[in-house]
């Protein structure tokens, strides 16, 4: 069985500060890991994904995530928060041989001016 845990349902950071959203996964096989973003009244869109090519993955809008197998983590970071980053962020996992995409419970990011 596969699962993801997102620590912190709400995160607030000041504009210009570091953004760190945490995701830990559980998978019995090498995982594929994703971060999706949901802006208000919109569907989800892909920020970045890990598919074993490189442990540090760069995505859109200046976000990146690092796959750490020893810690079973895939935390999302951005060096400097912008007001437009305010949204809900979802971590998701799928496993080798398993088409299913399993989502975490989401983290709502608020940017303080």
Partner 1 sequence: EAQVTQNPRYLITVTGKKLTVTCSQNMNHEYMSWYRQDPGLGLRQIYYSMNVEVTDKGDVPEGYKVSRKEKRNFPLILESPSPNQTSLYFCASRRTGLGTEAFFGQGTRLTVV
Q: How many CB atoms lie within 10 A of CB 45?
A: 11
Binding residue (CB under 8 A) for partner 1 from 7, 8, 9, 54:
9
If you search the block for the tokens 């001016």, which residue do you land on?
A: 113
110 binds partner 1 per the rule CB under 8 A:
no
Task: Say if CB 107 and CB 10 are below 8 A apart.
Answer: yes
22 binds partner 1 per the rule CB under 8 A:
no
Spatial distance between the Cα atoms of 45 and 58, rounded to a whole number of angstroms: 15
105 binds partner 1 per the rule CB under 8 A:
yes
C-beta of 16 vs 39, nearer to partner 1? 39
Residue 23 pairs in a beta bridge with 6
106 binds partner 1 per the rule CB under 8 A:
yes
List residues binding partner 1 (CB under 8 A): 9, 32, 34, 36, 41-46, 49, 51, 90, 94, 96-97, 99-106
């Amino acid at each position: 069985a596969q699962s993801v845990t997102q620590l912190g349902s709400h995160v607030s950071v000041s504009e210009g500060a570091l953004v760190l959203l945490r995701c830990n996964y559980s998978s019995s096989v090498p995982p594929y890991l994703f971060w999706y973003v949901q802006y208000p009244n919109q569907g989800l869109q892909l920020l970045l994904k890990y598919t074993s090519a490189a442990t540090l993955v760069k995505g859109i809008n200046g976000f990146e995530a690092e796959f750490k197998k020893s810690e079973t983590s895939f935390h999302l970071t951005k060096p400097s928060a912008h007001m437009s980053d305010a949204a809900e962020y979802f971590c998701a996992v799928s496993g080798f041989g398993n088409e299913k995409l399993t989502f975490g419970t989401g983290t709502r990011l608020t940017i303080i001016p």
